Amino acid sequence: MVNRGEGFSYSVSPDQIDRYKVWPIERRLKWLFYGNKLRKYLPSKTIEIQEAFRQGKPLPQAKRPSKAQPGPNT
C-alpha cells in the first residue's frame, strides 16, 4: 500500500493477512495489548517521532546544544 503524503507506509502480503486471520481473537488482542504496553516505555522523543510519521508531519527538530560562549582565553 502506497499513499503519498500520509506519513509512512508498509506492505503486508496476502499470505501474512491470511495467517493473521486464523489466529484466535484472544491471541490477536494479546498481540495488540503487548505492543501498546511496550510502546508506553519508549522514550517520549521516540513516540513524538512516531506520531509525526503517522500524521504525515515533518519530523520534530532535534534540540541542539547552544554554542558555548567564548571564554576569556579564546
How far, in Å, CA of 64 to CA of 12, rounded? 37
For the cut 90, the answer to whether the pLDDT of residue 61 exceeds it is no
Question: Is the distance from CB of 27 to CB of 18 less than 8 angstroms?
Answer: no
Q: Give the total residue count for the chain.
A: 74
Judged against a pLDDT cut of 90, whether residue 18 lies above it is answered with: yes
Express as a percent the part of the chain with pLDDT over 70.
Answer: 70
The string of pLDDT tens digits covering residues 24-60 is 999 999 999 998 898 888 999 988 888 888 888 887 7
H-helix or E-strand spanning residue 35 = helix 25-40
Tell me the C-alpha distance between 2 and 12, whole Å: 11
Residues 6 or more apart whose CB falls under 8 angstroms from that of 62 comprise none
